[in-house]
Structure 1
Amino acid sequence: MAMALLWAVGVSSWGCLGRHLARHFSRAAGREERPGGEELRRLLLDDLAPTPRSERGQELLFGLSPCLLALRAARRRVARLLLQAGRSGLQGERAELLRVAEARDIPVLRLRRQKLDALCRFQVHQGVCMEVSPLKPRPWTEVEEARPGDDPQQLWLVLERLQDPRNLGSVLRSAHFLGVDKVITTGRNSCPLTPVVSKASAGAMEVMDVFSTDDLAGFLQAKSRQGWLVAGTVSCPGPEISPSSDIPITSCLEFLWDRPTLLVLGNEGSGLSLAVQASCQLLLTILPGRQLPPGLESLNVSVAAGILLHSICSQRKGSSGERKREHLLQDPREPSTTSEGPGLAQHPGLSSGSEQERQNGS
C-alpha cells in the first residue's frame, strides 16, 4: 500500500513538473525567446541540463579528452584536477594528464566515483574532472583578417542560434576534423561554450578558434564585399524558401569550392533567419535519396554539417579525394604517381585495424 502511494505521488509530481515545463516553453515560444521552438521543445531535459559547476562556482570540465586538451591549449585557468579514487597505475592519456598537472603545480584531488558523479550531474566523466574558468567566444573583430587572394580555399563555418549543446559540440568536432579554419557564432540566442559542449566535441572546443558577433547579417555582408562567398544552407527546397527569392539553390555535391567561403548553418528548428538568408549569395542543400514523408525532409544540424563540410573539404588540394580524382583521370598507360594506401594509413582519423587484420592473415 505504501509503495503504491509513493508511486502515485511520484506520478503526480512528475505530471505537475511536465505541465510547468510545457507552460514555460509555451510562453517562451510566444515571446520568441527560443527560435525554432517546436523541435527544441522536444529535446529531453538532460539535453539542456545546467552547466556542471564546482562547489567554488567554477565550471567543471569533465571527460578525459576535454580535460587533457584544455591543459595542452592552456586557454583556461585550472584550479584543481579531480581524479577518481581507486584507479591505480594510471597509464596513457591519464598518466599524461597527471604529469602535465603536476608540472604546472595544479592541485590534484582524488574523489570517490559517487562524488564525481554528483559533481558532474551524472554526465559521463571517465573518472576525470577539472575545475576551470569559463571559455567564451572571442569577438569577431579579433579575427585576423585574411584576404581572399591569400588562399582561395579558406573555409569558415558560421552558426546562427544553435542552442542544443550536443549539436554544437558535434558540429565543432566535425569542423575541427575536416579542417575548418574558423567558427563564428551569434552572440545572442546561442548555446554558450559549456563543458557539455566540450565533451560532445571530444575536446575539439578547447583548441578551436571560436568567435561571435551580435550582427551576423552585417558580418556576412562585410565579408561578401571583401570577396568571400557567403553560402547559406537549407533543407530540400520548400516553403522555407520565399517564392520570390532569387538566391540560387545548389546541391552540395555540385558546389565548386574555388574561393574563400563562409558556410552558414541555421537554428535547429527554424533554420536561417530571413535577414541572414538575404545576406547569402548561394544556398546549399542535401538532396534526399528517396521520397520523404512530411517531418523527415530535413537532417539533424550536426549530421547536415558533417555532410556539407565533407562535400566541400574533399575538394581541398592535397586531400585524399583530390588524389583519388587525379588517379581516375590519369592515363592508365602511365605509371601511377599517387598511392591511396600510404595516404590512408597516415591519416590521423583512421584506425589501423585493417592493417592489423592483414598482418593476422584475415
Structure 2
Amino acid sequence: MAGNSSRRGAIKKTGKGNPTAGSGGRVRRGLEGKGPTPKAEDRPYHKAHKQAKRAEKSIAGRPRKSKPGSDQEWIAGRNSVVEALRAGLPVTAIYVAEGAERDGRLREVFGEAAEKGLSLLEVPRVELDRMTHGAVHQGLAARVPPYEYADPMDLLDQAAANREPALIVALDSVTDPRNLGAVVRSAAGFGAHGVVVPERRAAGMTASAWKTSAGAAARVPVAQVVNLTRQLKAYQDAGCTVVGLAADGDVALPDLEVDGPLVIVVGSEGKGLSRLVAETCDQLVSIPMASSLESLNAGVAASVALYAVAQRRAAPGA
C-alpha cells in the first residue's frame, strides 16, 4: 500500500539511527563537494602554516639564529667588536649580555654606538650564546651583513698601490675557522696584503674566525675562490712565486728567495697540501725544527713563514 512505511525496504536505517530515504540524503550531499582545497599556509596543522607563523614572530622583532647564506653575520668578542667599529664596518646592531663587566672596551663600544646611532640591546647571556652559535663573545657581539670577500686579483693591486712586493697567504682546505682567524691576524701583523680561501670544504669568515683574528679581518682582505689551483696559476701568470709549506719541502724557509711577489700556501690541518696544489707550487718549503715534531698547526705554520719573510724583507740591503 502506498505510503506504508512498514513495507520492507521503504526506509533504510543506518547503524547510527539516521534514516536515509532512497538514494538521496547523505550520499547526494557528499557528492556535492566542499569547494577548493585551502592553501597549505591556511591549514592550521600543515607544516607550511607553522613555518609562516614562526616567520611572523621573527618579523615582529624576535632575534633569529643566523644560518649559512642568511642575511646576517655575527662578530663576537670585545676586541673583535671594537676593531670592527674602528674600521667602519657596517654594524647594524650591538648586543650586550646582561651583567657584562664594564671595561674600557665596552665603554668605547657604548660611545661609538651613541655617536653612530647604532641599536644597543641588552639580552640574557644564554640568548647571546644562541645568537652567536656558542662563540666566546665575552658578553659583547655585533650583527653585520654577510662578509664581503675581496677579489683575489685586487690583493695584487693593493700591493702595487703600496709600492711593495705582494705577500699573500692561500689556505688549502683549512676547515677550522680558528686557524683562519689566526692566519688573518698574522697576515695583519707581518704586512701581508691578503688571504685567499677556497669556497668549498674550507673555513669562511664566520664569527669564530672574526673572534680569533682579534678584529684583524677588518684590516686584511680575505678573498674566496672557486678553484684554488686555478687561482694560484693566475698569480703565477701575474709574476708571483707560489711556494707551499710542506714537511718534506726541498727548500728550507731561511733559504727562500723573498724579494719578489710571493704567495705562501698552507695546507689543511690533517693532510697538508693536496696533490694538485703541491704540483702547482713553484717550490715546496720546509720549516726547520729542532725536534722530530711531524708538522705544525696551520695557523702557527703560516705565522712562522710570514715572520720569516717580513724579517728578511726588512733586513738592511734586502
TM-score (norm 2): 0.71
Give the CA deviation at 1:122.
Answer: 4.3
Q: Contact 1:173 / 1:205 at 8 angstroms: preserved in 2?
A: yes
Distance 1:146 1:72, change over 3 A: closer
Identify the residue that residue 286 of structure 1 maps to in structure 2: 287
- Kindly provide the amino acid, as one letter, of the partner of residue 198 in structure 2: T
Structure exhibiting the larger radius of gyration computed from Cα positions: 2
Cα distance in 2 for partners of 1:275, 1:254 equals 24
Equivalent residue for 2:299, pick from 294, 297, 302: 302
Distance 1:94 1:271, change over 3 A: same
Identify the residue that residue 55 of structure 1 maps to in structure 2: 64
Identify the residue that residue 93 of structure 2 maps to in structure 1: 80
Q: Contact 2:75 / 2:141 at 8 angstroms: preserved in 1?
A: yes
State the Cα deviation string for residues 70-129 of structure 1 (Å, max 9, x = none): 2222333x33211233457x4522222111111221111122434434444443222211
RMSD: 2.7
Identify the residue that residue 169 of structure 1 maps to in structure 2: 181
Identify the residue that residue 277 of structure 1 maps to in structure 2: 278
Give the CA deviation at 1:153.
Answer: 3.2
Distance 1:144 1:308, change over 3 A: closer
Identify the residue that residue 253 of structure 2 maps to in structure 1: 252
TM-score (norm 1): 0.63
Secondary structure (helix, strand or coil) at the match of 1:316 reads helix
Give the CA deviation at 1:177.
Answer: 1.0
Identify the residue that residue 210 of structure 2 maps to in structure 1: 198
Distance 1:253 1:143, change over 3 A: closer
State the Cα deviation string for residues 298-319 of structure 1 (Å, max 9, x = none): 11111111111111111123xx
Give the CA deviation at 1:61.
Answer: 2.1
Give the CA deviation at 1:233.
Answer: 1.3
- Kindly provide the amino acid, as one letter, of the partner of residue 277 in structure 1: A
Aligned residues: 252
Secondary structure (helix, strand or coil) at the match of 2:312 reads coil
Cα distance in 1 for partners of 2:160, 2:276 equals 24
- Kindly provide the amino acid, as one letter, of the partner of residue 298 in structure 1: S
Distance 1:128 1:154, change over 3 A: same
Q: Contact 1:232 / 1:277 at 8 angstroms: preserved in 2?
A: yes
Q: Contact 1:230 / 1:261 at 8 angstroms: preserved in 2?
A: yes
Secondary structure (helix, strand or coil) at the match of 1:170 reads helix
Equivalent residue for 1:65, pick from 79, 83, 90: 79
Cα distance in 2 for partners of 1:122, 1:231 equals 36
Identify the residue that residue 56 of structure 2 maps to in structure 1: none
Structure 1 runs not aligned, ≥5 long: 1-53, 238-248, 327-362
Q: Tell me which moved more, 142-151 or 207-216.
A: 142-151
Identify the residue that residue 154 of structure 1 maps to in structure 2: 166
Equivalent residue for 1:315, pick from 287, 299, 312: 312
Cα distance in 2 for partners of 1:149, 1:67 equals 28
Cα distance in 2 for partners of 1:254, 1:217 equals 25
Identical pairs, percent: 29
Give the CA deviation at 1:151.
Answer: 4.3
Q: Contact 1:148 / 1:227 at 8 angstroms: preserved in 2?
A: no
Q: Contact 2:187 / 2:220 at 8 angstroms: preserved in 1?
A: no
State the Cα deviation string for residues 7-47 of structure 1 (Å, max 9, x = none): xxxxxxxxxxxxxxxxxxxxxxxxxxxxxxxxxxxxxxxxx
In the TM superposition, what are the counterparts of 1:94-105 in structure 2 within 5 Å? 94-105=106-117
Q: Contact 1:136 / 1:192 at 8 angstroms: preserved in 2?
A: no
Give the CA deviation at 1:252.
Answer: 0.5
Cα distance in 1 for partners of 2:106, 2:82 equals 8
In the TM superposition, what are the counterparts of 1:12-23 in structure 2 within 5 Å? none
